[in-house]
Amino acid sequence: MKRILLCCLATLALSACSSHKPPQASAVAPQAVAPQAAKPVADSAALAKAALEKKIDANMAANPAFIPFAADSRELDEAGKGQILRQIASFQSSKKLIIRGYCHHGSSNARAVAHARAVAVKQFLVASGVPAKHLVVRYNTDKDAQGVQITSK
């Protein structure tokens, strides 16, 4: 038993004196990995931006003055904001804008949703430099539409 213990200790001692060094990580490796890891993130951001621009283009082609909303949503999405920003110069120069929120009356809280949509667009317009005194908020639950119509008077 003592012999086995001595052999183990001798092996351990000799291995500690070994001249074999473990490979060191080079400073170049993390830098080489970082751009490759960042590239998919940058590509996905570019794809997301392109998809958003495509959605804004489609909305503008359909009706530039109508900002579509998701069913029962009160939130102005990024496509809606982009659609408004593309027209902000004409909105800023208008004497009066009527912002009419729509939500089909089939929804249990259609009036509240239609009004909240119009208010969300009004708040975004004001934050974008359109004077609040030029904005009138209205809502409609009779038309089968999900969004906000901006009309210049």
Let me know if residue 60 belongs to a domain. Answer: yes
36/148 Cα distance (integer angstroms)? 43
Let me know if residue 108 belongs to a domain. Answer: yes
- For residue 57, with 0-12 CB atoms within 10 Å meaning exposed, 13-18 middle and 19 or more buried, which class applies? middle
Domain containing residue 79: 49-153
pLDDT at 6: 47
Per-residue pLDDT of 38-96, as tens digits, reads 567 678 899 999 999 999 999 999 999 999 999 889 999 999 999 999 999 999 999 99
Count of domains in the chain?
Answer: 1
Per-residue pLDDT of 86-121, as tens digits, reads 999 999 999 999 999 999 887 679 999 999 999 999
Q: What is the mean pLDDT of the chain?
A: 84
Distances in whole angstroms, Cα of residue 103 to Cα of each of 53, 74, 108, 133: 25, 10, 10, 25
Tell me the CATH number at 114: 3.30.1330.60
pLDDT at 106: 76
Let me know if residue 81 belongs to a domain. Answer: yes
Let me know if residue 111 belongs to a domain. Answer: yes
> How big is the CA angle at 18 (ends 15 and 20), to the nearest 5 degrees?
120
Contact by Cβ (8 Å): 138, 116: no
Split at pLDDT 50, 70, 90, the class of 124 is very high
Q: Percentage of residues in the chain with pLDDT exceeding 70? A: 73
Let me know if residue 120 belongs to a domain. Answer: yes
Per-residue pLDDT of 9-37, as tens digits, reads 555 555 555 555 555 555 555 555 555 55
Let me know if residue 29 belongs to a domain. Answer: no
40/42 Cα distance (integer angstroms)? 5
Let me know if residue 23 belongs to a domain. Answer: no
Let me know if residue 127 belongs to a domain. Answer: yes
